[in-house]
Amino acid sequence: MINFYLLSIIPIVIGSVLWYKNKEIIWKEWLLGSFIAICISFLFHMILLFGMTADTETWSGVVYELEYHPEWVEKYTVTENDSKGNSRSVTKHRTHSPYWLCFSNFGEISEEKDITKEKYDEIKKHFGDEIIKEEEFKMGFSSGDPNIYITKNKTDYICPVTTKKIFENKIKSSPSVFSYSKVDEKIKVFNYPKNSNFFSSGRLIGESKKAIDILEFDRLNSYLGPRKKVNLIIVGFNSLDSKLGQFQEAKWIGGKKNDLVLCYGGESPSKAEWSYVFGWTEKEIVKSNLESILLNNKIDNSILEKIKNEVIKNYEIKDWDKFDYISVEPPLFSYFIFIFIMIAFQVFFYIKAHNN
């Protein structure tokens, strides 16, 4: 990225020559032109760094509280002019629609999210009774229900949820450093799960969806996520080719920051003929132990407790600061775009400076 700043020296030098030889350009204009050149370099640096390294990881949590805000009507006054230009006060009413919220705990953070009435009712029946909280102040309240209705989780019911967080992934920008080559499209591996549904993830992939219940698996993640900062994914292949695990790892460039991906394959979704586990961790033993668990147990909901115990015992998330040594090199085309924009801005500015 330093090359952008080195290239900005060229317009700064050219600007200094114009200032020295051209009386129409004063030193303040040269200083401003130099500042513009440095700013363009900085913007390119930041945009490319973010675009090449920004990535998202999935966090798991649980819903711990619900809120219902019922409909109410607000009365307010406005001033209007009649046909003769005389002002008068007019009383109007505005209806505030009802809305429903859920509050979720992800360990380090909590999040508030709008939900539908149907989802609110579904979760509420597991949580317990509502608590009426009188709203402290609603400006212009005229009619309707002034209260807020809160439902706390009194039954320890586990309603799992997910959220996405941005992190810097230098490995994504330099996969060759870790020998991750592009996977041939003919090799049948899976795309990374989008996890776009707040209440149900896509972390069971392929044959594993037939063997394990997604609600129970999300509940496992909601337990392990806040405690171990891990995101478990299980990928099942209907194949005896054990190399598919390595191909899946290459496709996902090792996985996200907190991923622990359990791959297995065989002729049956509930029986692993081979297994392969990848992910970023400080203790590699957890991977080999999980591979043994997959091979020696039936793949169904009963295996989740064994996976949980192993992750609790041996998993430790990778210290991502150890990858700070990786340098991020911008693609060649970005230099051509940078030079074009730099020339356009500098030429426009100095023509303006000359004619001013």
Instruction: Evaluate the CA torsion angle 58, 269, 281, 251 in order and state its sign.
Output: negative
Please count the CA atoms within 13 angstroms of the CA of 186 that sit on its side-chain side.
Answer: 0
Quick one: tokens of 110?
């909590």
Which region among 55-59, 185-189, 302-306, 336-340 has the lowest average model confidence (pLDDT)? Answer: 336-340
Question: Is the domain of 219 the same as that of 274?
Answer: yes
Question: Could you tell me what percent of the chain has a pLDDT over 70?
Answer: 96
The pLDDT value given to residue 345: 83
Within a domain: 118: yes
SS (HEC) of 33-46: HHHHHHHHHHHHHH
Which among 226, 234, 60, 235 is positioned nearest to 159, based on CA atoms? 60
What pLDDT is stored for residue 85 in this prediction?
Answer: 67
- For residue 229, CA distances in Å to 50, 240, 248 come to 23, 32, 22
Longest dimension (CA), the chain: 89
Number of domains into which the chain is organized: 3
- Supply the angle between the helices 303-314 and 285-296 in degrees, to the nearest 10: 170
What is the SS3 assignment for 133-152?
EECCCCCCEEEECCEEEEEE
72 and 15, same structural domain?
Answer: no
Question: pTM for the full model?
Answer: 0.82
Residue 158 inside a domain? The answer is no
The per-residue pLDDT for range 293-340, each reduced to its tens digit, is: 999 999 999 999 999 999 999 999 999 888 878 777 777 787 788 888
Residue 114 has pLDDT above 80, yes or no: yes
Q: Mind listing the pLDDT tens digit for each residue in 125-145?
A: 999 888 887 666 678 888 888
Asked, for residue 275, whether it belongs to a domain, the answer is yes
Structural domain boundaries enclosing 242? 169-317
> 163-177, 236-250, 302-316: which range is least confident on average?
163-177
Model confidence over 252-289: pLDDT tens digits?
999 999 999 999 999 999 999 999 999 999 999 999 99
Q: How many angstroms separate the CA atoms of 205 and 207, rounded?
A: 6
Residue 312: its pLDDT value, please? Answer: 97
Task: Answer yes or no: do 288 and 211 share one domain.
Answer: yes
Whether 327 is covered by a domain: the verdict is no
Average pLDDT over residues 92-97: 90
Q: Which of 125, 152, 179 is the last residue of a domain?
A: 152
Is residue 265 a part of any domain in this protein? yes
Mean pLDDT of 9-17: 79
- Domain membership flag for residue 127: yes
Angle subtended at Cα 5 by Cα 177 and Cα 36, rounded to the nearest 5 degrees: 140
**Contact (CB, 8 A) for 24 and 71:** no
d(CA 352, CA 356): 6
